[in-house]
């Protein structure tokens, strides 16, 4: 059965200005936006009442639901208590928790009365050994309250530091710590806004800070982005103008973490605006979480699905052998949305083919691009997408300046309604982030799919901040090289780091996927218990040498051809800022933290754990 939706035609104003810059604007003017993001919650509680808004699995595995009316009542209770606490309005409320109904209630309750929230990545506690990023975020944001999930999980990190007047609350196990109050203490008795809370609600203006949302730290330590109510509401209004087919009937299941702008703003605010039902996915596209995600999809039957490319790759592989999953995934689906990186052509084509088998026609694929500083959506695909690399065109209220970069690429710079004014307590970073015309400098490269037809859309062209020069002065475009090696080496590698600035040639530092390699090379695995010895086995070395040789066969120049490589047994370390909580590798941090390995790669005499790509 077809689930076809009516798509718009892409129409842009494109003009050339001084310095060879191009300005791209959507021809559609931005629609009216509410002053307070949470006006949508109030209107939906009136409109939809007992319709389910938020759903999550309880410890027994059953779905626990809150209707729009119930959500509003609980949000109002927390808002009333927060007003009674007479908190400093300039200091945000921090939340350290995985996605949950309690997380959503806390966030909405604070924002609707003009208090900003600072969501902290759950991985900074659950994965990190030191929790250093938590301390960094608390210090920079100057949070007055920290609401956490499990006190047993988070308090060992927090107790390392002097926390001053920070008030602590926990969803569970608060009774074990004298300084931690139970989450239930944040609920006042009255389920309607008190006069004082209503006054605070009415005082929220478009420029009121809604969140201090920290960047993922892919090139440096996380920075606290100022995210206003208008940034979030204008983003959703602009998206809604391009996607008029999104409405109150939407049912989603989503795992994207709310401390990030994709899950926390793009997806969550879309359901808040339109009145859809949000199922919180307790899984994710990892080997450990995928089976939960699959079970949830089979039960929920989503109408829209949001994910990153690796999520679709994992689901696609499962759908090829699980007919029930394939039928459930596509049965009610209107469209698929992907962001954060380019979807590979094989997965793109496979999903389209499977959608025809279930629906009778091809599922529309949409994509977008943006950053934490753009709340997050700056560009969007809203026309039939034929090339999986397209990231869209500006939404209403956004203009993009395409500025020539010294590397020869074109940087995408953004100005408009959804763009942040800068970073909290960081005037230097704020000053450096904007050009003289007020455009935010994303440091992301972009180009037209078809230079003669701009309305065919933009392509992402890598991070200009990660590009570098060899000592010959030749530019190296990092992302394209990494994408090539990753495509050839998956799933036996986690990532490759390209070395190194101001060196005579390129070398590769491979973060290996040791469990998968041991399954493939069973004899070598049995022979070598130690990972370092296993990675020096000739079979393993030859396998990765072949990956680099395949790459080199189509990349002949000095700025694209790898001469040497090494295999790393130690995973990238979040505490050293080598990786973000999203798994994105901070290339420059790895090169800095592992300088001894870089030196080995360029040694005159080849060390035992460095190999030449061409060993003939």
For 125-180, write each residue's pLDDT tens digit: 998 888 999 999 999 999 999 999 999 999 999 999 999 999 999 999 999 999 99
Report the side by side order of strands in the sheet with 611-612. Answer: 493-499, 506-512, 562-568, 611-612
Angle in degrees, CA 304, 351, 250, rounded to 5: 10
pLDDT digits (tens, 9 = 90+) for 95-125: 999 999 999 999 999 999 999 999 999 999 9
Closest C-alpha among 167, 207, 190, 158 to residue 87: 167
Closest C-alpha among 246, 245, 305 to residue 6: 245
592 against 217, higher pLDDT: 592
Domain limits of the chain? 1-33+230-420+440-465, 36-204, 467-612
Closest C-alpha among 104, 78, 101 to residue 192: 78
Place of tokens 């500025």: 403
Band of residue 459 on the pLDDT scale cut at 50, 70, 90: very high
Q: Which CATH class is domain 36-204?
A: alpha beta
- pLDDT confidence of residue 53: 98
Reply yes or no on whether the pLDDT at 2 is more than 80.
no
Closest C-alpha among 280, 273, 336, 340 to residue 304: 336
CA dihedral 100→43→4→298, nearest 10 degrees, is 30
Reply yes or no on whether the pLDDT at 584 is more than 80.
no
- Rounded mean pLDDT, 298-322: 93
Q: What is the rounded CA–CA span in Å between residue 115 and residue 391?
A: 33
Band of residue 1 on the pLDDT scale cut at 50, 70, 90: very low
Report the residue count for the chain. 616
| Tokens (6 digits) for 155 | 């308090």
pLDDT digits (tens, 9 = 90+) for 373-426: 999 999 999 998 888 889 999 999 999 999 998 888 899 999 999 999 999 999
Per the CB < 8 A criterion, the answer to whether 57 and 64 are in contact is yes
| Tokens (6 digits) for 135 | 């301390």
pLDDT digits (tens, 9 = 90+) for 13-56: 999 888 779 999 999 999 999 999 999 999 999 999 999 999 99
Residues 6+ apart with CB under 8 A from 599: none
| Tokens (6 digits) for 285 | 């596209």
Q: What is the rounded CA–CA span in Å between residue 425 and residue 516?
A: 44
3-class state of residue 23 by DSSP: strand
Give Cα 351 distance to the centre of its chain. 22
Residues 6+ apart with CB under 8 A from 446: 369, 391, 400, 402, 410, 411, 412, 458, 459, 460, 461
- pLDDT confidence of residue 616: 53
Strands 506-512 and 562-568: parallel
- Rounded mean pLDDT, 521-549: 96
Give Cα 30 distance to the centre of its chain. 25
Residue 449: how many CB atoms within 10 A of its CB? Answer: 16
pLDDT digits (tens, 9 = 90+) for 251-294: 999 999 999 999 999 999 999 999 999 999 999 988 789 999 99
531 against 582, higher pLDDT: 531
Residues 6+ apart with CB under 8 A from 375: 227, 231, 232, 234, 235, 261, 265, 418, 419, 420
- pLDDT confidence of residue 579: 82
Residue 553 buriedness (CB in 10 A; 0-12 / 13-18 / 19+): exposed
Q: 148-152, 338-342, 506-510 — which is least confidently predicted?
A: 338-342
Q: What is the pTM of this model?
A: 0.87
Q: What is the rounded CA–CA span in Å between residue 360 and residue 358?
A: 6
Give Cα 340 distance to the centre of its chain. 6
Beta bridge partners of 172: 150
Say what angle helices 323-331 and 345-359 make with each other, to 10 degrees.
80
Q: What is the DSSP string of 53-102?
A: EEEEE-TTSPEEEEEHHHHHHHHHHHHHHHHHTT--TTSPEEEE--S-HH
Measured CA to CA in angstroms, residue 563 lies from 479, 482, 489, 542, 552 at distances of 18, 15, 17, 14, 9
- pLDDT confidence of residue 576: 82
Q: What is the rounded CA–CA span in Å between residue 40 and residue 20?
A: 42
Measured CA to CA in angstroms, residue 220 lies from 1, 40, 223, 257, 261 at distances of 48, 35, 8, 20, 18
Q: What is the rounded CA–CA span in Å between residue 35 and residue 208?
A: 9
- pLDDT confidence of residue 388: 82
- pLDDT confidence of residue 465: 81
DSSP 115: -
Q: What is the rounded CA–CA span in Å between residue 73 and residue 79?
A: 10
Residue 599: how many CB atoms within 10 A of its CB? Answer: 11
Peptide bond preceding 67 in cis form (omega within 30 of 0): no
Per the CB < 8 A criterion, the answer to whether 395 and 380 are in contact is yes
- pLDDT confidence of residue 522: 95
- pLDDT confidence of residue 36: 98
Closest C-alpha among 85, 38, 73 to residue 186: 85
Q: Which CATH number fits domain 467-612: 3.40.50.150, 3.40.50.1820, 3.30.300.30, 3.40.640.10?
A: 3.30.300.30
Q: What is the rounded CA–CA span in Å between residue 80 and residue 94?
A: 18
Q: What is the rounded CA–CA span in Å between residue 569 and residue 534?
A: 9
What is the average pLDDT score of the chain?
93
Q: Which CATH number fits domain 1-33+230-420+440-465: 3.40.50.300, 1.10.1040.10, 3.40.1160.10, 3.40.50.12780?
A: 3.40.50.12780
Same fold, 36-204 and 467-612: no
| Tokens (6 digits) for 464 | 């200009």
Per the CB < 8 A criterion, the answer to whether 20 and 387 are in contact is no
Per the CB < 8 A criterion, the answer to whether 272 and 37 are in contact is yes
């Amino acid at each position: 059965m077809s689930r076809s939706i009516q798509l718009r035609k892409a129409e842009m104003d494109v003009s050339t200005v001084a310095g060879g810059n191009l300005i791209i604007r959507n021809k559609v003017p931005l629609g009216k936006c509410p002053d307070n993001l949470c006006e949508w919650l109030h209107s939906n509680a009136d409109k939809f009442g007992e319709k389910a808004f938020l759903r999550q699995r309880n410890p027994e595995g059953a779905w626990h639901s809150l209707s729009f009316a119930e959500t509003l009542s609980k949000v109002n209770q927390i808002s009333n208590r927060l007003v009674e606490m007479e908190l400093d309005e300039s200091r945000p409320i921090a939340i350290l928790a995985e996605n949950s109904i309690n997380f959503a209630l806390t966030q909405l309750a604070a924002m609707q009365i003009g208090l900003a929230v600072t969501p902290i990545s759950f991985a900074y506690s659950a994965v990190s050994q030191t929790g250093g990023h938590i301390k960094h975020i608390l210090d920079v944001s100057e949070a007055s309250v920290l609401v956490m999930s499990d006190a047993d999980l988070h308090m060992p990190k927090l107790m390392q530091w002097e926390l001053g007047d920070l008030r602590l609350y926990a969803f569970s196990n608060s009774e074990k710590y004298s300084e931690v109050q139970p989450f239930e203490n944040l609920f006042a008795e009255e389920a309607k806004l008190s006069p004082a809370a209503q006054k605070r609600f009415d005082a929220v203006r478009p420029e009121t800070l809604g969140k201090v949302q920290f960047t993922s730290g892919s090139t440096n330590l996380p920075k606290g982005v100022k995210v206003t109510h208008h940034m979030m509401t204008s983003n959703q209004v602009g998206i809604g103008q391009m996607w008029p087919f999104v409405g109150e009937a939407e049912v989603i299941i989503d795992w994207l973490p709310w401390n990030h702008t994709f899950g926390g703003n793009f997806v969550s605010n879309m359901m808040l605006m339109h009145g859809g039902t949000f199922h919180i996915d307790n899984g994710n596209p990892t080997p450990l979480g995928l089976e939960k995600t699959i079970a949830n999809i089979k039960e929920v039957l989503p109408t829209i699905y949001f994910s990153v490319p690796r999520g679709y790759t994992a689901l696609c592989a499962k759908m090829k052998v699980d007919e029930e999953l394939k039928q459930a995934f596509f049965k009610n689906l209107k469209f698929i949305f992907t962001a954060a990186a380019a979807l590979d052509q094989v997965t793109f084509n496979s999903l389209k083919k499977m959608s025809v088998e279930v629906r009778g026609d091809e599922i529309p694929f949409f994509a977008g691009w943006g950053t934490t500083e753009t709340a997050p959506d700056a560009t969007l695909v809203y026309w039939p997408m034929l090339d999986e690399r397209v990231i869209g065109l500006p939404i209403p209220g956004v203009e993009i300046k395409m500025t020539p970069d010294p590397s020869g690429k074109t940087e995408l710079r953004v100005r408009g309604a959804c763009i942040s004014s800068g970073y909290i307590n960081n005037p230097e970073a704020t000053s450096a982030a904007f050009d003289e015309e007020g455009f935010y400098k994303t440091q992301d490269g972009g180009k037209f799919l078809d230079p003669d037809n701009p309305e065919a859309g933009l392509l992402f062209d890598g991070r200009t901040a990660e590009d570098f020069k060899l000592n010959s002065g030749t530019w190296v475009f990092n992302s394209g090289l990494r994408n090539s090696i990753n495509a050839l080496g998956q799933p036996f590698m986690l990532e490759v780091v390209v070395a190194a600035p101001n060196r005579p040639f390129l070398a590769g530092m491979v973060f290996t996927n040791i469990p998968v390699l041991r399954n493939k090379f069973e004899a070598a695995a049995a022979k070598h218990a130690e990972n370092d010895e296993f990675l020096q086995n000739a079979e393993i070395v030859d396998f990765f040498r072949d990956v680099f040789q395949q790459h080199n066969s189509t990349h002949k120049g000095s700025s694209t051809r790898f001469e040497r490589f090494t295999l790393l047994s130690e995973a990238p370390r979040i505490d050293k800022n080598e990786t973000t909580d999203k798994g994105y590798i901070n290339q420059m941090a790895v090169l800095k933290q592992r300088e001894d390995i870089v030196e080995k790669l360029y040694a005159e005499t080849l060390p035992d754990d460095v190999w030449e790509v061409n060993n003939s």
